[in-house]
Amino acid sequence: MLETESELHKKFWEIFSKQDRQKIDEFKYHMDKFAINFNLYKDGNFIERSLPFDVIPRIISKEEFTKIEKGLQQRIQALNLFLEDLYTDAKIVKEGIVPQEFVEQASGYLKEFKGFSPSKKIRTHINGIDLVKDTVNDAWVILEDNLRVPSGSSYPLSIRDTYRKIYPDFFEQLKIEPIKQYPSYIKSAMNHVSCGGINVVLTPGRFNSAYYEHSYLAQEMDAQLVRAHELEVIDKKVYFKNYNGKRIRVGSIYRRLDDDFIDPTFFNPESLIGVPGLVEAYLAGNVALMNAIGNGVADDKGIYYFVPKMIKYYLGEDPILHNAPTYLPYFKEDMEYVFKNIEKLVIKDVAEAGGYGVLFGHEMSALQLEDLKTAIKANPRRFIAQELIEFYDEKCYLDKELKDRKADFRAYVVMGEDIKVWQCGLTRYALEAGNYLVNSSQGGGFKDTWVMEL
């Protein structure tokens, strides 16, 4: 189902109808030429590939986006307060708003960091919040918070440049919000929390799926792109190893690897992509890490359920943006509801990400549903259940035809001195009709997102 066409859409189609559609192929040419890749590992093989791109942008009115913006600012503020509270006083737990047992069982909760407060008490520096627009209420709904290492921003950034070259008419004739400022948001946030020194982007390396993004953002932010062994920790301070042997102090690290791999002396000793001693430097307050270690607890799919309560608790406000109706089998009454309605719910494994571990009740056989119930009963904390959100399709120009495809929207929120919401985002669409999974790792493509006004 498509959203009702607005005046903005009409203006887009009017210009689109006058464009040379042969030129659509040039997008692929540009992406290949500049190796704008999202790499995959398939059957043990490394595959370099460009992300499928669709030329029809998602259009969001400036007015509508302003509401999303306010809702996201509110949500990130609350989530940051939650994390800071959880790792220091834990009042929210003591007051029973979020059950202690629930927090402690979250795989992203790191009790070793209890009592530590990072630079400027900011933990949620760079966030990717996944939303869809519900066809029933005609409202945006939050599906997921990504507060660890959200990726994807470089793709719309790169494609916008290409779009302007291939089809300048749209940008001449429509009022589309510019988007180039996103890397400067991150740079400002890094400078804000910096403990003195240069900024670096820490990448697992060339064969990471998002290496293009690491390299692109480092370049745009004027930061050094480094791998673990290009940093060195001396006396709990982090240094960049320059080619000529000089050591340059590092003040802020935008790390593109998960907590588990960041420091082999503290976490996984097998990690070859982490910096030995980094956690010690971080705990000594000598370097800022973006995002903070231990954020995984807040984007745990189970903790997601409590975010509206956090907003109320910390800010005394009602949430501007709502969650999808969610049930926690951990609670007895929720488990009963889930078991009664399992065939119409979406069941998610809280330990999985990237579209994995998502089960649609309506697609499962009776036997599979019984097996699922058994698994939920055995470990209720491991699952959440959500009402299936019928979200809007987006028009896509696929195989030279306009087709409707399910699409979500990842908004990027950067927290530094203030909270900034990027006037763009990553719209991801499913390649097949009727598919609800749009993740890039599930083969989904992406579109540009235009925030526009008349």
Partner 1 sequence: MEQLLTANVATNLYWLGRYIERTEATLNQIVIAYDKIIDVDKDAGITLYSNFSTELEYTNAQDFLEKAIFGEHAANLETLTGYARENAIISRNHLNTQAFGEIIALHALFQRSSNSIIEIDYKLIDEAHSLISEMWGEISKASYKKISDYFLRLGQLVEKADFTFRFDDDKTRGLTIVEDIHNLLHSLEGTEEISVSQKQTQSIDYEAIINEIHNKIQSLIIQ
Judged by CB, which is closer to partner 1: 136, or 248?
248
Burial 27-41 (b: 16+ CB within 10 A, else e): beebbeeeebbbbee
56 sits near partner 1 (criterion: CB under 8 A): no
Q: What is the 3-state secondary structure (H, E, C) of the chain?
A: CECCCCHHHHHHHHHHCCCCHHHHHHHHHHHHHCCCECCEEECCEEECCECCEEEEEEEEEHHHHHHHHHHHHHHHHHHHHHHHHHCCCCHHHHCCCCCHHHHHCCCCCCHHHCCCCCHHHCCCCEEEEEEEEECCCCEEEEEEEECCCCCCCHHHHHHHHHHHHHCHHHHHHCEECCCCCHHHHHHHHHHHHCCCCEEEEECCCCCCCCHHHHHHHHHHHCCEEECHHHEEEECCEEEEECCCCCEEEEEEEEECCCHHHHCCCCCCCCCCCCCCCHHHHHHCCCCEEECCCCHHHCCCCCHHHHHHHHHHHHHCCCCCCEECCEECCCCHHHHHHHHHHHHHEEEEECCCCCCCCEEEHHHCCHHHHHHHHHHHHHCHHHEEEEECCCECEEEEEECCEEEEEEEEEEEEEEECCCEEECCCCEEEECCCCCCCCCCHHHCCEEEEEEEEEC
Strand partners, 175: 453
Q: Could you say whether residue 155 binds partner 1 (CB under 8 A)?
A: no
> Is residue 224 a contact point for partner 1 (CB under 8 A)?
yes
> Taking CB under 8 A as the rule, which mask of x and - marks residues 158-197 in contact with partner 1?
----------------------------------------
Stretch touching partner 1 by CB under 8 A, among 31-39, 106-114, 376-384, 406-414: 31-39
Q: Write the binding mask 234 to 273 for partner 1: x where contact by CB under 8 A, - elsewhere.
A: ------xxxxxx--x-------------------------
Using the contact rule CB under 8 A, the part of the chain among 75-83, 104-112, 222-230, 317-325 near partner 1 is 222-230
216 touches partner 1 (CB under 8 A): yes
User: Quick one: 173 or 242, whose CB is closer to partner 1?
Assistant: 242
Name which of 231 and 389 has its Cβ closer to partner 1.
231
Q: Which of 114-122, 171-179, 221-229, 414-422 is the region at the interface with partner 1 (rule: CB under 8 A)?
A: 221-229
Q: 236 or 241: whose CB is closer to partner 1? A: 241
Of 18-26, 211-219, 298-306, 339-347, the window that binds partner 1 (rule: CB under 8 A) is 211-219
Closest by alpha carbon to 82, among 305, 275, 235? 305
208 binds partner 1 (CB under 8 A): no
Asked if 16 is part of the footprint of partner 1 (rule: CB under 8 A), the reply reads no
- 175 vs 206, beta carbon nearer partner 1: 206
Stretch touching partner 1 by CB under 8 A, among 134-142, 219-227, 374-382, 388-396: 219-227
**Count of residues binding partner 1 (CB under 8 A)?**
23
C-beta of 23: minimal distance to partner 1 in Å?
18
Among 140, 167, 170, 211, binds partner 1 (CB under 8 A): 211
Residue 340, amino acid: K
Judged by CB under 8 A, the chain residues 410 through 429 that form the site for partner 1 are: none
Does the protein bind partner 1 through residue 230 (CB under 8 A)? yes
| 59 binds partner 1, rule: CB under 8 A | no
User: Least distance in Å: CB of 242 to partner 1?
Assistant: 6
Minimum CB separation of residue 161 from partner 1 in Å reads: 10
Binding segment for partner 1 (CB under 8 A), chosen from 29-37, 99-107, 387-395, 420-428, is 29-37
Interface residues toward partner 1, by CB under 8 A: 32-35, 198, 206, 211, 215-216, 218-219, 224-227, 230, 240-245, 248
